Amino acid sequence: MEAGKLDRRITIQRAATAPQDDAGQPIPAWSKVAEVWAQVLPLAAREPFQADQRAAWVDTKFVIRYRADVGPLDRVLYGGRTYDVVGVQEIGRREGLELLAYARAE
């Protein structure tokens, strides 16, 4: 893995155990897992119709050094957007990770 390509700083977060509101519903909370250097590769953009409304999504791949504590239930903060990680693929033998993520374009 070439260190020069890892030129963007991202934050990886994981859903945390949260307190409940007055109705007994959990309040969404996220805890920081790590702040790491990454290569950011935009893959595609699309605008599907959902429930008679147009919703725009951006598909992005983040390449980072290998970490055993990152999974598909985590999320990435980068460039003022929140990306939901939906896939994690190991590169080589623990050389790195590819995180496939989706964010709602606003």
Q: Between 51 and 32, where is the model more confident?
A: 32
Give me the pLDDT at residue 16, please: 85
In a domain, 104, yes or no: no
Question: Is 102 within a domain?
Answer: no
Number of domains in the chain: 1
In a domain, 69, yes or no: yes
Q: Count other C-beta atoms under 10 Å from residue 53's C-beta.
A: 7
pLDDT, tens digit (0-9, with 9 covering 90-100), for 42-101: 887 665 555 555 555 668 999 999 999 999 989 999 999 999 998 899 999 999 999 999
Q: Which residue has the higher pLDDT, 44 or 33?
A: 33
* Global pTM value: 0.79
Residue 103 falls within a domain, yes or no? no
Tell me the pLDDT tens digit for each residue of 5-29: 999 999 999 988 777 888 888 877 8
Please determine, for residue 37, whether its predicted confidence score (pLDDT) is greater than 80. yes
Residue 20 forms part of a structural domain: no
Q: Is the pLDDT of residue 105 over 80?
A: no
Domain that holds residue 67: 3-14+27-97
User: DSSP code of 72?
Assistant: T
Task: Determine contact, residues 103/81, Cβ cutoff 8 Å.
Answer: yes
Question: Could you please report the per-residue DSSP string of 11-63?
Answer: EEEEE----B-TTSPBPP-EEEEEEEEEEEEEEEEE--EETTEE--EEEEEEE
